[in-house]
Copies of this chain bind each other. A is one copy, B any other.
Amino acid sequence: MVTASAPGKVYLFGEHAVVYGEPAVPCAIDLRARVTAEERSDDRLVVHARDLKLDGFTVEYGEGSPDVDAEDALVRAAVGYVDESVAQVRDAAGRPGAGLEITVESDVPLGAGLGSSAAVSVAAIEAGTRALGTELDREEVADRAYRVEHAVQDGQASRSDTFCSTMGGAVRVEGDDTRRLDAPDLPFVVGYDGGAGDTGELVAKVRALREDYGFAADTVAAIGDLVREGERALAEGDVEELGRLMNFNHGLLSAVGVSSRSLDGMVWAARGAGAHGAKLTGAGGGGCIVALDPTDATERALSLTPQCERAFRAELDAEGVRVE
């Protein structure tokens, strides 16, 4: 029995545009998904999920399609990630018929823009391969987790979430080019509206806008240029400049239709409290915003904002995936 964990992340810059080859800068944070894997004596796959900010559920796979004891779309999505991760595990271990008992626990709320699916996939691949007696290097874990997202998200994934969750820290992803970045101490504050966006639908919405309108394609390209500017600010440790760029990035994401009333409400609460900047993180439509504020003011303001269900400070995670 092996337990591995992997961190969630916030996007400092570049979500959505990264799908079209622009660079993005996600940062791993100290919220983790933990996956425990144990080889079974039969060829079955049994998945237990707990604490996914949902009721737990159990899925049994045998011949045919899985029998899930919960109907929620998010649960089915989570099961999809575990299912594809196990396929990667079996392939990596050269054990196509291996049975596994998988337990998933997560501090990362599902579908809220904090990279829950990448964290689960990365931890599942790390734990699953070790349970079957194989050890992968981090590059392969990241790559196989990317293939999981690619399969589940109909080919609309980027390497950013899975690379960030595997490596930890601040990273830069542009197409297949992935690297770690030096980053100063970043005073992240997260506001969570308790909801979730439909990543597939949101990605499709941006794609349609980009195909229909030249100015929408230009807006996506402008996000890429903003990210390049943000890399400079990150290298210089210029937190105020990072905040200004986050504000601009949020506006461009609003333009392509992926913000929401509650996300905007939280963003304005953070700015009103004196945060250097604030933006939605992840696919949008609901979920989380991230702000930069070294003081307690933003966390306090968010906790008093009706649209905010939970506000918390997040630390940059430097570790990435680890065996517990």
Contact = CB atoms under 8 A, between A and B. Distances in A.
A156 interface: no
Interface in A26-69: none
Interface stretch (A123-131, A133-141, A158-166, A247-255): A247-255
Contacts of A229: 213, 215
Which of A216, A218, A219, A261 has the most chain B CB atoms closer than 10 A to its own CB?
Answer: A219
B254 A250 contact: yes
Interface string A308-323: 0000000000000000
B247 A251 contact: no
A262 to B, nearest CB: 9
Interface stretch (A86-94, A144-152, A264-272, A290-298): A264-272
Nearest to A271: B261
Interface in A215-253: 215-216, 218-219, 221-223, 225-226, 229, 247-253
22 contacts: A209-B248, A213-B248, A214-B225, A215-B222, A215-B248, A216-B248, A218-B221, A218-B222, A219-B219, A249-B255, A250-B254, A250-B255, A251-B255, A251-B259, A252-B252, A252-B255, A254-B254, A255-B255, A260-B268, A261-B271, A264-B264, A264-B265
Copies in the complex: 2
Contacts of A225: 213-215, 218
Contacts of A272: 261
A297 B257 CA distance: 22
B248 A251 contact: no
Given A215-B222, A251-B257, 18 more contacts: A209-B248, A213-B226, A213-B229, A215-B226, A216-B248, A218-B221, A218-B225, A219-B219, A250-B254, A250-B255, A251-B253, A251-B255, A251-B256, A251-B259, A254-B255, A260-B268, A261-B271, A264-B268
Contacts of A215: 222-223, 225-226, 229, 248
A272 B264 CA distance: 14
Given A214-B225, A222-B222, A255 B248 contact: yes
Nearest to A252: B255
Contacts of A249: 255
Interface in A295-310: none
